[in-house]
Amino acid sequence: MKCQNCQLPVEVDHSLVDLSLAQRKLLLNSGGEPPSQVYRIPQERLQKLSHIRKPSELSLQKSVVNSLDSYVFLHGDSSTLQRSNNIIASSGEEESGDDEEEDSTTKTLSSHVNALTNIFNILSSKGNIDYPVCQDCCDLLMQRLKSEYDDAIKERGIYSSFLSRLQKQQELDALKPKKQIYSSEEVDGMKIEQEKLLQELLELEKQDDELVQEIVELEKQLQLKNEQQAKELQKQNLEDLEKIEFVKEVQSLKNQYELTLNNLDKLRKTNIFNETFRISHDGPFGTINRLRLGGFDEVRVPWQEINAAMGQLVLLLATISTRLHFKLDGYRLRPMGSFSKVEKFDVDAQDWVSYDAFNNGEFKLGKFFYKETSFDKALECILAVVDQMASRLSSTSTEQEVIELPYTMHNDKINGITIKLFGNKPNIEWTTACKLLLTNAKWLLAFSSSRISPT
């Protein structure tokens, strides 16, 4: 057995195991049925009920009766519907009461369970409570029923008080004097007044229609005005947007113009020749565009780098003379990269002699005889060109712009150091002379920058 409310196992009391016939009838008839006079059964159903045969009138064998588990019989004169799995078995028990009482001691556990199940089913069909229930659920159910009972008592009191008030009201209404009957004159006056009020009502309805029509017209005018105002606002918004875009575009053009002016000023202040020919130093070496000019035993500089530096120096001098429109007296510069040349006019031969401003580092017999090479002649010509260009700039300048190179140059010497190698390897003295030569060339470039046209 399980509680039909919480579905927990229920231990059946021993008093319900062996029930007599009288106890079963007492349980079945105490289902809390209302009195029979409350129900009004139609006459047709009563006639049908009279033709129904009772279970006692059926001649069924006991085995057949026990096998019927799900039949429903109408039992007794109260026409109560008894639903049970073994209702026929219980009817059979009524017929043979004495025999079953004698054999009650021989019943099995399954028969007791079936009998209790039938009793619980019948009790459940007679009320709103499903049996069996455990003690806790029974307590909760009693509390709920008690609460419902208290609510019903309160509701009955409310209805009773309301009924008493209605009765008092009816009594008071009965005590009031009856209305007097109006005279014919009063009735005629009331009809006239009714007609006046009706006429006034018609006029008011007419005024109401006119006002409704006027409201409709005003709403149309308001809608047209709103649409016109919306169009004007849209037009104004478009104009404002165009104005904002125009202002943004003008401001952008102004910013671009200012940026262009700044870049132009920056470019005007920039000396393209100083940027193109960067003359500096790297320790004991003089450099032009990061190319070293010189070398000695501790630091060997390849001739490819020296030749490239000489080519940049020749290009610098040629650029200055070209831009200043100086025609060199007795010299011509041929910038050809790492294989640049310098030409000198020979008065005796009345012809131009070309000297190589580069050295391939090949072995030559002239170095044993301390004889100058074509490279030495080119270096000597370069010194003469720098000196000649400085003199030309000084002659064309004012007294305040006299050019004085930091190191004096005479023939093949600069600041007393010869610029010639005579076929030997580069040494520290020759490196220093080349460094001084580049320094004089840088000064020459600085003095001539203000006069050189960038075009």
pLDDT value of residue 27: 67
**Cβ neighbours of residue 69 closer than 8 Å, sequence gap 6 or more:** 85, 86
Domains parsed from the chain with CATH numbers: 14-32+41-133 (no CATH), 273-448 (1.10.418.40)
pLDDT value of residue 96: 44
pLDDT value of residue 119: 76
CB 340 within 8 A of CB 315: yes
pLDDT value of residue 71: 43
pLDDT tens, the chain, 455 aa long:
788 778 888 877 766 766 677 777 776 665 554 444 445 677 777 777 777 766 666 665 554 444 444 444 444 443 333 333 443 344 444 444 444 444 444 456 677 677 777 777 777 776 677 778 888 888 888 898 899 999 999 999 999 999 999 888 888 878 766 555 667 888 888 899 999 999 999 999 999 999 999 999 999 999 999 999 999 999 999 999 999 999 999 999 999 999 999 999 888 877 777 778 888 988 889 999 999 988 888 888 999 999 999 999 999 999 988 888 888 888 999 999 899 999 999 888 888 999 999 987 664 545 545 577 889 899 999 999 998 988 888 877 655 566 788 899 888 889 889 988 887 888 899 999 999 999 999 998 888 876 665 44
Prediction pTM value = 0.45
Buried b (16+ CB within 10 A) or exposed e, 249-260: eeeeeeeeeeee
Rounded to 5°, the CA angle 355-360-361 comes to 115
pLDDT value of residue 13: 72
**Cβ neighbours of residue 447 closer than 8 Å, sequence gap 6 or more:** 390, 393, 401, 403
CB 288 within 8 A of CB 279: yes
